[in-house]
Amino acid sequence: MATPYQYNRLNKDDAAVLMVDHQAGLVSLVQDYPPNEFKNNVLALADIAKFFNLPTILTTSFEQGPNGPIVPELKEMFPDAPYIARPGQINAWDNDDFVAAVKATGKKQLIIAGIVTDVCVTFVALSAIEAGFDVFVVTDASGTFDETVRAAAWERMSAAGVQLLNWFAVACELHRDWRNDIEGLGNMLSNHIPPLSGLDDQLLCSHRSVVFWGSGFAPKTLPEHELSLPVRFHDHPSPAAHDYCQSACHRRHYPSCAIRPRSRIRRVDQRHRCRCPPV
Protein backbone atom coordinates (compact mmCIF):
# COMPACT_ATOMS: atom_id res chain seq x y z
CA MET A 1 0.00 0.00 0.00
CA ALA A 2 1.36 3.37 -1.02
CA THR A 3 2.29 5.77 1.77
CA PRO A 4 -0.13 8.75 1.81
CA TYR A 5 1.45 11.96 0.60
CA GLN A 6 2.36 14.42 3.34
CA TYR A 7 2.57 18.06 2.34
CA ASN A 8 5.77 19.42 3.81
CA ARG A 9 5.37 23.16 3.51
CA LEU A 10 7.83 25.92 4.24
CA ASN A 11 7.77 27.24 7.78
CA LYS A 12 9.19 30.72 8.39
CA ASP A 13 10.21 29.66 11.90
CA ASP A 14 12.24 26.69 10.69
CA ALA A 15 13.82 27.84 7.42
CA ALA A 16 17.18 29.29 6.36
CA VAL A 17 18.31 30.64 2.99
CA LEU A 18 21.52 29.58 1.27
CA MET A 19 22.72 31.85 -1.55
CA VAL A 20 25.31 29.76 -3.37
CA ASP A 21 27.84 31.21 -5.80
CA HIS A 22 25.97 34.23 -7.13
CA GLN A 23 29.28 35.56 -8.40
CA ALA A 24 30.10 38.19 -10.98
CA GLY A 25 32.02 35.80 -13.20
CA LEU A 26 29.35 33.11 -13.08
CA VAL A 27 26.38 35.34 -13.87
CA SER A 28 27.43 35.41 -17.52
CA LEU A 29 26.91 31.64 -17.68
CA VAL A 30 23.20 32.01 -16.98
CA GLN A 31 21.40 31.61 -20.29
CA ASP A 32 18.10 30.05 -19.23
CA TYR A 33 16.71 33.40 -18.01
CA PRO A 34 17.11 36.90 -19.44
CA PRO A 35 19.69 38.86 -17.40
CA ASN A 36 17.30 41.44 -15.96
CA GLU A 37 14.71 38.81 -15.09
CA PHE A 38 17.28 36.64 -13.37
CA LYS A 39 18.64 39.56 -11.35
CA ASN A 40 15.11 40.45 -10.29
CA ASN A 41 14.46 36.87 -9.19
CA VAL A 42 17.63 36.67 -7.11
CA LEU A 43 16.97 39.99 -5.40
CA ALA A 44 13.34 39.00 -4.82
CA LEU A 45 14.50 35.92 -2.94
CA ALA A 46 16.89 38.08 -0.95
CA ASP A 47 14.04 40.45 -0.08
CA ILE A 48 11.94 37.47 1.04
CA ALA A 49 14.73 36.36 3.34
CA LYS A 50 14.86 39.82 4.90
CA PHE A 51 11.09 40.23 5.09
CA PHE A 52 10.65 36.98 7.01
CA ASN A 53 13.87 37.40 9.00
CA LEU A 54 15.25 34.11 7.73
CA PRO A 55 18.86 33.24 8.61
CA THR A 56 20.84 33.71 5.40
CA ILE A 57 24.22 32.33 4.42
CA LEU A 58 26.28 33.62 1.51
CA THR A 59 28.99 31.52 -0.08
CA THR A 60 31.35 31.78 -3.06
CA SER A 61 33.89 29.54 -4.69
CA PHE A 62 37.36 30.40 -5.95
CA GLU A 63 36.80 34.16 -5.96
CA GLN A 64 40.37 34.85 -7.09
CA GLY A 65 39.76 32.90 -10.30
CA PRO A 66 37.30 33.46 -13.14
CA ASN A 67 34.29 33.01 -10.85
CA GLY A 68 34.91 36.46 -9.40
CA PRO A 69 33.44 38.08 -6.27
CA ILE A 70 29.89 37.82 -5.02
CA VAL A 71 27.46 40.19 -6.71
CA PRO A 72 27.57 43.39 -4.63
CA GLU A 73 23.82 43.66 -4.07
CA LEU A 74 23.75 40.51 -1.95
CA LYS A 75 26.69 41.57 0.19
CA GLU A 76 25.07 44.95 0.75
CA MET A 77 21.74 43.40 1.70
CA PHE A 78 23.31 40.95 4.17
CA PRO A 79 26.38 42.70 5.61
CA ASP A 80 26.26 40.65 8.82
CA ALA A 81 25.35 37.26 7.34
CA PRO A 82 27.86 34.39 7.46
CA TYR A 83 30.01 34.73 4.35
CA ILE A 84 31.91 31.60 3.38
CA ALA A 85 34.50 32.25 0.66
CA ARG A 86 35.44 28.69 -0.28
CA PRO A 87 39.03 28.38 -1.51
CA GLY A 88 38.14 25.83 -4.14
CA GLN A 89 35.48 23.30 -3.18
CA ILE A 90 32.90 23.06 -5.96
CA ASN A 91 30.34 21.49 -3.65
CA ALA A 92 29.83 23.94 -0.80
CA TRP A 93 28.89 21.03 1.45
CA ASP A 94 32.51 19.84 1.21
CA ASN A 95 33.54 22.99 3.09
CA ASP A 96 33.46 22.50 6.86
CA ASP A 97 32.86 26.19 7.58
CA PHE A 98 29.83 26.24 5.33
CA VAL A 99 28.30 23.13 6.88
CA ALA A 100 28.98 24.51 10.36
CA ALA A 101 27.23 27.78 9.45
CA VAL A 102 24.21 25.87 8.13
CA LYS A 103 23.94 23.75 11.26
CA ALA A 104 24.41 26.82 13.47
CA THR A 105 21.13 28.27 12.16
CA GLY A 106 19.27 25.47 13.94
CA LYS A 107 16.84 25.28 11.02
CA LYS A 108 15.58 22.09 9.41
CA GLN A 109 14.44 23.58 6.11
CA LEU A 110 16.98 24.93 3.63
CA ILE A 111 15.93 27.28 0.82
CA ILE A 112 18.69 27.14 -1.78
CA ALA A 113 19.47 29.17 -4.90
CA GLY A 114 22.64 29.69 -6.87
CA ILE A 115 24.73 29.49 -10.02
CA VAL A 116 24.89 27.10 -11.76
CA THR A 117 21.79 25.01 -11.16
CA ASP A 118 23.25 21.68 -12.24
CA VAL A 119 26.46 21.97 -10.20
CA CYS A 120 26.62 24.45 -7.32
CA VAL A 121 22.93 24.16 -6.47
CA THR A 122 22.38 20.47 -7.18
CA PHE A 123 25.47 19.29 -5.29
CA VAL A 124 24.53 21.24 -2.16
CA ALA A 125 20.88 20.19 -2.38
CA LEU A 126 21.70 16.48 -2.66
CA SER A 127 24.26 16.69 0.13
CA ALA A 128 21.78 18.46 2.41
CA ILE A 129 19.12 15.83 1.70
CA GLU A 130 21.63 13.14 2.62
CA ALA A 131 22.38 15.02 5.86
CA GLY A 132 18.71 14.94 6.83
CA PHE A 133 17.55 18.45 5.90
CA ASP A 134 14.37 19.35 4.05
CA VAL A 135 15.53 21.10 0.89
CA PHE A 136 13.67 23.62 -1.25
CA VAL A 137 15.41 24.86 -4.40
CA VAL A 138 14.29 28.20 -5.83
CA THR A 139 14.24 27.48 -9.55
CA ASP A 140 14.06 30.99 -10.95
CA ALA A 141 16.76 32.38 -8.63
CA SER A 142 19.12 29.69 -9.90
CA GLY A 143 20.53 29.72 -13.42
CA THR A 144 22.58 27.64 -15.82
CA PHE A 145 23.67 27.20 -19.44
CA ASP A 146 20.35 26.34 -21.08
CA GLU A 147 16.91 24.87 -20.45
CA THR A 148 17.97 21.31 -21.27
CA VAL A 149 20.69 21.35 -18.62
CA ARG A 150 18.26 22.96 -16.19
CA ALA A 151 15.59 20.30 -16.78
CA ALA A 152 18.07 17.49 -16.14
CA ALA A 153 19.19 19.13 -12.88
CA TRP A 154 15.60 19.61 -11.75
CA GLU A 155 14.81 15.97 -12.46
CA ARG A 156 17.86 14.78 -10.56
CA MET A 157 17.07 16.87 -7.51
CA SER A 158 13.36 16.09 -7.56
CA ALA A 159 14.07 12.35 -7.68
CA ALA A 160 16.11 12.74 -4.49
CA GLY A 161 13.30 14.49 -2.64
CA VAL A 162 14.18 18.15 -3.25
CA GLN A 163 11.17 20.41 -3.59
CA LEU A 164 11.31 22.82 -6.53
CA LEU A 165 9.49 26.14 -6.44
CA ASN A 166 9.90 29.70 -7.66
CA TRP A 167 10.52 32.75 -5.47
CA PHE A 168 6.87 33.84 -5.50
CA ALA A 169 5.79 30.41 -4.26
CA VAL A 170 8.40 30.69 -1.51
CA ALA A 171 6.92 34.02 -0.41
CA CYS A 172 3.36 32.73 -0.46
CA GLU A 173 4.10 29.48 1.35
CA LEU A 174 5.99 31.30 4.08
CA HIS A 175 3.28 33.95 4.39
CA ARG A 176 0.37 31.46 4.55
CA ASP A 177 -2.39 34.07 4.80
CA TRP A 178 -2.75 37.35 2.89
CA ARG A 179 -4.13 38.95 6.05
CA ASN A 180 -0.74 38.59 7.72
CA ASP A 181 0.75 42.02 7.03
CA ILE A 182 -0.63 42.37 3.51
CA GLU A 183 0.79 45.89 3.24
CA GLY A 184 4.33 44.78 4.08
CA LEU A 185 4.23 41.81 1.74
CA GLY A 186 2.56 43.91 -0.92
CA ASN A 187 5.30 46.51 -0.79
CA MET A 188 7.92 43.81 -1.20
CA LEU A 189 6.12 42.04 -4.05
CA SER A 190 5.42 45.27 -5.93
CA ASN A 191 9.16 45.87 -6.18
CA HIS A 192 9.55 42.68 -8.21
CA ILE A 193 6.21 42.17 -9.98
CA PRO A 194 5.32 45.45 -11.73
CA PRO A 195 1.93 44.41 -13.11
CA LEU A 196 -0.05 43.61 -9.99
CA SER A 197 -3.42 43.91 -11.72
CA GLY A 198 -4.15 40.28 -10.86
CA LEU A 199 -4.11 41.06 -7.17
CA ASP A 200 -7.19 43.21 -7.17
CA ASP A 201 -10.56 43.19 -5.44
CA GLN A 202 -10.67 39.60 -4.17
CA LEU A 203 -7.23 39.83 -2.58
CA LEU A 204 -7.14 43.43 -1.48
CA CYS A 205 -10.68 43.85 -0.12
CA SER A 206 -10.44 41.44 2.81
CA HIS A 207 -11.90 42.82 6.04
CA ARG A 208 -13.59 45.62 4.05
CA SER A 209 -10.38 47.39 3.20
CA VAL A 210 -8.90 48.22 -0.14
CA VAL A 211 -5.17 48.52 -0.58
CA PHE A 212 -3.79 50.51 -3.49
CA TRP A 213 -0.46 49.53 -5.01
CA GLY A 214 1.85 51.55 -7.18
CA SER A 215 5.49 52.26 -7.67
CA GLY A 216 6.55 55.21 -5.57
CA PHE A 217 3.50 54.99 -3.30
CA ALA A 218 3.18 53.31 0.05
CA PRO A 219 0.07 51.08 0.23
CA LYS A 220 -2.95 52.98 1.51
CA THR A 221 -6.28 51.88 2.97
CA LEU A 222 -9.46 53.64 1.95
CA PRO A 223 -11.47 55.29 4.73
CA GLU A 224 -14.66 53.57 5.83
CA HIS A 225 -17.02 55.70 3.74
CA GLU A 226 -15.18 54.68 0.55
CA LEU A 227 -15.31 50.92 1.06
CA SER A 228 -18.56 50.23 -0.80
CA LEU A 229 -16.99 51.19 -4.11
CA PRO A 230 -15.13 48.55 -6.10
CA VAL A 231 -11.60 49.41 -7.16
CA ARG A 232 -10.15 48.44 -10.52
CA PHE A 233 -6.63 48.57 -11.90
CA HIS A 234 -6.02 49.63 -15.47
CA ASP A 235 -3.87 48.38 -18.30
CA HIS A 236 -2.37 51.55 -19.69
CA PRO A 237 1.39 52.07 -19.70
CA SER A 238 1.70 53.68 -16.28
CA PRO A 239 -1.13 52.44 -14.05
CA ALA A 240 0.59 53.48 -10.84
CA ALA A 241 0.57 57.14 -11.88
CA HIS A 242 -3.14 57.63 -11.26
CA ASP A 243 -4.20 54.98 -8.75
CA TYR A 244 -5.11 57.64 -6.23
CA CYS A 245 -6.59 60.15 -8.69
CA GLN A 246 -10.18 61.18 -9.04
CA SER A 247 -12.14 60.00 -12.04
CA ALA A 248 -11.96 63.41 -13.70
CA CYS A 249 -8.17 63.34 -13.47
CA HIS A 250 -8.15 59.82 -14.85
CA ARG A 251 -10.29 60.76 -17.85
CA ARG A 252 -8.11 63.78 -18.55
CA HIS A 253 -4.88 61.83 -18.65
CA TYR A 254 -6.15 58.53 -20.09
CA PRO A 255 -9.00 59.45 -22.47
CA SER A 256 -8.73 56.13 -24.36
CA CYS A 257 -8.85 53.90 -21.28
CA ALA A 258 -11.74 51.43 -21.56
CA ILE A 259 -12.12 51.07 -17.81
CA ARG A 260 -13.60 54.09 -16.09
CA PRO A 261 -13.37 54.53 -12.33
CA ARG A 262 -16.70 55.39 -10.81
CA SER A 263 -17.36 59.09 -10.58
CA ARG A 264 -17.83 58.87 -6.80
CA ILE A 265 -14.30 57.60 -6.13
CA ARG A 266 -12.48 60.25 -4.17
CA ARG A 267 -8.92 60.72 -3.04
CA VAL A 268 -7.60 58.42 -0.35
CA ASP A 269 -7.13 61.39 1.96
CA GLN A 270 -7.15 65.14 1.72
CA ARG A 271 -3.36 65.34 1.75
CA HIS A 272 -3.02 63.52 -1.57
CA ARG A 273 -2.06 65.58 -4.58
CA CYS A 274 -2.38 64.32 -8.12
CA ARG A 275 0.84 62.76 -9.37
CA CYS A 276 -0.24 62.05 -12.89
CA PRO A 277 2.39 62.97 -15.48
CA PRO A 278 1.72 66.23 -17.28
CA VAL A 279 -0.03 66.02 -20.65
Q: What phi and psi, each to the nearest 5 degrees, are found at residue 221? A: -120, 130
Same domain, 53 and 122: yes
CB 261 within 8 A of CB 253: no
| pLDDT at position 176 | 95
Q: In whole angstroms, what is the distance from residue 10 CA to residue 224 CA? A: 36
Q: Are 222 and 209 in contact (CB under 8 A)?
A: yes
Whether 156 and 218 map to the same domain: the answer is no
pLDDT of residue 238: 40
Residue in 120, 172, 245, 257 annotated catalytic: 120
How much is the pLDDT for 1? 66
- Whole-number Cα distances in Å, 74 to 20, 57, 58, 77, 234: 11, 10, 8, 5, 34
What is the residue range of 165's domain?
15-173
% of the chain exceeding 90 in pLDDT: 62
Task: Give the CATH number for residue 132.
Answer: 3.40.50.850
- The answer to the question of residue 259 being in a domain is no
Residues with pLDDT less than 70, the chain: 1, 195-279
**Residue 120 annotated to the active site:** yes
Summarize pLDDT for 71-107 with one digit per residue, the tens. 999 999 999 999 999 999 999 999 999 999 999 999 9
Check whether residue 32 and residue 106 sit in a common domain.
Answer: yes
